[in-house]
A and B are shown apart, each in its own frame.
Chain A
Amino acid sequence: MSELQFTIDGKDCKAKSGQTIVEAARENGIYIPTLCNFQGMKPAGTCRICTVKVAGRYQAACTTPAAPGMIVESNTPEIEDMRKAIVEMLFVEGNHMCPTCEKSGNCELQALGYRYTMLAPRFPYLWPVREVDAHAPKIYLDRNRCVQCLRCVRGIVTGDGKHVFALSQRGNKVGIDIDAQLAAGLSEDQAKKAMDQCPVGAILRKEIGFAVPIGRRKYDGKPIGSEV
């Protein structure tokens, strides 16, 4: 693979051809926030938090390949404020009761809220009515917390390639649907993977939980992005 050069906020960066801006940024020690993105999965571009500006146009850095000579603006006050707005939108369009959530401290949405010092969101809460689905034997699906990142849709498929999770409805009614029958056939590992890949607390493994106490979880000590 050939190497190419480009810049992010004026800093020279190297990328392999075909690499997305998000991937290349990490390798060059630059943090671009992401939420729906997950290493090893085809990027979906649903959350748009990684939006950057390239040649005057806004683009999602997770779906845009780095190109030779590209000039990327990322950490500007304007873009950072719009990213914060996305975090706030995700909070108000769902029902996020962090203190009672099993994922608190490990939740990427919550961690982004901290990183962007979100106090009260600028938007009014929409209080949608969302259903909880506990039909599947191993998995508990709480749509109140779902951010529609589609990691479960992309990542959890049966041996013969069937989707266990899929989107249903459209617009503000979209939600993740679980095929309870297929979910019943998930192995222990797959069920755990479904929970671990969910950035929030929408997909939980039934019958286990709170093994690590709140306060000692991944983002309780240091903010998201500090590993970069």
Chain B
Amino acid sequence: MGTNITAVVTGVVDAYKKDRSRLLDIVRDVQAQLGCVNDEAAAQIAASMNVSRVDVDGVVTFYHFFSKTPVGKYSVYLNNSVTAQMNGRAAVAKSFTDLAGCQFGQTTADGLIGLFDTSCIGMNDQEPAALINGVVFTRLNADKVKSIVGDMKAGKKVEDMVRDHGDGANQSALVKSMVNNNIQRKGPVIFAPFESGKALKAAVAKSPDDVIEELKVSNIRGRGGAGFPTGMKWEFCRKAQGAKHYVVCNADEGEPGTFKDRVILTEAPALLFEGMAIGGYAVGASEGVLYLRAEYMYLRKYLEDVLDGLRKKSVLGANAGGKSGFNFDIKIQMGAGAYICGEESALIESAEGKRGEPRNRPPFPVQNGYMGYPTTVNNVETYCAAARIVLEGGKWFKSMGTAQSAGTKLVSVSGDCRKPGVYEIEFGTTVQTLLELVDGRTARAVQVGGPSGTCVGKKDFGRRICYDDLATGGSIIIIGPNRDLLEVVHNFMEFFVEESCGWCAPCRAGNQLLLHKLEKIMHGHGTEGDLKELESWCKIVKSMSRCGLGQTSPNPIATTLQNFREVYEAKIRKGADYDTEFDLLASVQESCRVAGRIPNIHEEH
């Protein structure tokens, strides 16, 4: 084993030329060959790259898809988003544990199968879904699990377990995936016909300043959620001093419930890459980085092929778009499983091969970003829209949407509706109109913007989807009349506890405490005082946290307390101002179990 580790580590480290910024790739490749990155492998990586062992371990233990212990020849990562749960995840999980013969979080004794939970993998419209060695399996049920586990036990290649393929480019030879695009509504910006090469030609015919001016005219704001004006961001980046500039595309798409970037990557990658090239031209960059979440690894070969095609057409490469002196190319950097890496400065850290911890600001990425150079980080959809704006004009774009929120927006709709999938809607569309489009009229609540967004009820269905009212990076989860809302909130809070990077105290400790308090209420031990404390703790976590994750993570509780207070009130002990959380019954049962005695207690219910 020892010599094997040495051979593998040496081979991989040399392949990446001992480049510290490629540590994520190195760890991934070592794990692919050894099944994990144990202490010895980590120590050898550290020694051969001349970094300390704890820095390598820090990276291995930060990312969800890296492991110090074996993850199995077949590693099953079953999505645990709320939509997966709505669609029967519990039964699927049980089939896996029964048939594989191990629990979640474990690997079978023979090392064949590992079962793990994982945060939303971007398949919310086809849940329950899982990743097995990077291959996506959608719409799982007990029968499918039976055949999958059978195939694993028979030693079948994971690729060969996929029998049906999805629509569109999911069928292409380089993807061959069972994923479906589910494009339910095409609009004028993203999924309209596009002739590759044309947008970049139009851009390079202008000066970079004029391209930025056109974006400013369009009023476009970032599609990733925060809504920062794109023209302004590009201008800051262009003006920032630096020997080089970078364009980075944020394809981390980690907010539970969004999957629209996955569909763009599948169906409109040429538009995206051209948008990045236009960004490169505007800010003065010669290199772009697509940071692709690990969950979308199955698209990598296909995307590399699209990039190759664009190089052949001179949309990328030397004199890109036919502009002499404008050299621009794009590389793909894979993530490794961490929601926080969608936060732009954490994404940059991760792309540099480090733990995905957000940076302190100032400086901002436009001043000091990837590798220390001025960098613009934008969402997948933002680059696509920018390319379209260059083609159709800023005024055209601005004529759609609302005053503060120009253009259209892709939304990913999932949950209790008949037509889940991707919709390109005009900004300003009301929740009610959307519910009619997706056939989700019976909705009791709609989660706009994912867990970090807002949970609204019927009285708010007249509100509009746009930055100045209900903002969303794309996630819309519809919660039907028979769902237990507190279970939904609980799922979201568990997500934040799992995904906090742990850097700052209020987010690291605060989210656990909020979850704990929520559970106290769900277990029937809450009082009026607990609801008041919840409100006050939400405020503390939001105010004191360092980045957008902690500043929004209390939202599932805060917005349901505001819009569905009756749900909490039905659970608490009316009139009591104090209730100990101590559960005598459970404690006695536990101690009896430990001591091997039979409890002698009478329930008073």
Contacts and interface: CB of A to CB of B under 8 A. Distances in A.
B508 A48 contact: no
B500 A170 contact: yes
Contacts of B360: 43-45, 60, 63
Given A167-B58, A177-B54, A177-B58, A86 B502 contact: no
Contact of B544 (A82, A123, A174): A82
Interface in A71-108: 82, 85-86, 89-90, 92-93
B498 interface: yes
Given A179-B54, A182-B52, A171 B546 contact: no
A174 B502 contact: yes
A47 B355 CA distance: 19
Contacts of B537: 85
A44 B504 CA distance: 9
A41 B513 CA distance: 31
Interface residues of A, number: 44
Interface in A40-82: 43-48, 51, 58, 60, 63, 65, 82
A121 B328 CA distance: 56
Contacts of A162: 50-52, 55
B51 A170 contact: no
Interface string B263-306: 00000000000000000000000000000000000000000000
A90 B509 CA distance: 8
A118 interface: no
A164 B52 contact: yes
A86 B540 CA distance: 9
B578 interface: no
A124 interface: yes
A174 B61 CA distance: 9
Given A123-B513, A126-B512, A168 B505 contact: no
A166 interface: yes
A105 B177 CA distance: 62
B362 interface: yes
A48 B501 contact: no
Contacts of B61: 168-170
A45 B540 contact: no
A2 interface: no
Contacts of B500: 170-172
Contact of B540 (A82, A126, A148, A160): A82
Contacts of B505: 46-48, 86, 89-90, 93, 147-148
Interface in A160-207: 160, 162-174, 177-179, 181-182
B68 to A, nearest CB: 10
Interface string B501-527: 111111011111100100000000000
Given A126-B512, A171-B508, A172-B508, A166 B540 contact: no
A122 interface: yes
A163 B50 CA distance: 11
Nearest to B551: A58
A65 B50 CA distance: 35
A163 B362 CA distance: 24
Which of A46, A93, A163, A167 has the most B CB atoms < 10 Å from its CB? A167
Contact of B54 (A46, A65, A86, A163): A163
Contact of A122 (B51, B55, B533): B533
Interface in A118-147: 122-124, 126, 147
A170 B501 contact: yes
A173 B58 contact: no
Contact of B543 (A45, A51, A173): A51
B499 interface: yes
Interface string B531-543: 0010001011001
Contacts of B511: 172
A173 to B, nearest CB: 7
Contact of B502 (A92, A147, A169, A181): A169
B540 A172 contact: no
A181 B53 CA distance: 9
Nearest to A84: B540
Contacts of B512: 93, 126, 172
Interface in B157-180: none
Contact of B508 (A82, A93, A165): A93
B386 interface: no
A123 B506 CA distance: 12
B43 to A, nearest CB: 9
B482 to A, nearest CB: 32
Contacts of B498: 171
B55 A48 contact: no
A122 B529 CA distance: 12
B546 A178 contact: no
Contact of B545 (A48, A126, A164, A167): A48
Given A170-B501, A172-B508, A89 B513 contact: yes
A43 B504 CA distance: 13
A178 B512 CA distance: 26
Interface in B38-62: 50-55, 57-58, 61-62
A173 B58 CA distance: 12
B58 A166 contact: yes
B19 interface: no
Contacts of B544: 48, 51, 58, 82, 85-86
Contacts of B510: 89
Nearest to A48: B544
Contact of A170 (B55, B338, B509, B516): B338
Contacts of A147: 505
Contact of B57 (A46, A51, A124, A177): A177
Given A124-B581, A172-B512, A148 B502 contact: yes
Contact of A89 (B355, B509, B543): B509
A99 to B, nearest CB: 23
B502 A172 contact: yes
Contact of A172 (B58, B340, B497, B546): B497
B342 to A, nearest CB: 14
A155 to B, nearest CB: 14
B499 A171 contact: yes
5 contacts: A43-B360, A46-B503, A82-B543, A158-B52, A170-B501
Give the top 3 A-B pairs by smallest Cβ distance, nearest first. Answer: A174-B502, A166-B54, A93-B509
Given A44-B360, A63-B360, A163-B54, 17 more contacts: A45-B546, A46-B503, A46-B505, A48-B505, A48-B544, A48-B545, A51-B543, A93-B505, A147-B505, A162-B50, A162-B52, A165-B54, A168-B58, A168-B62, A170-B502, A177-B58, A179-B53
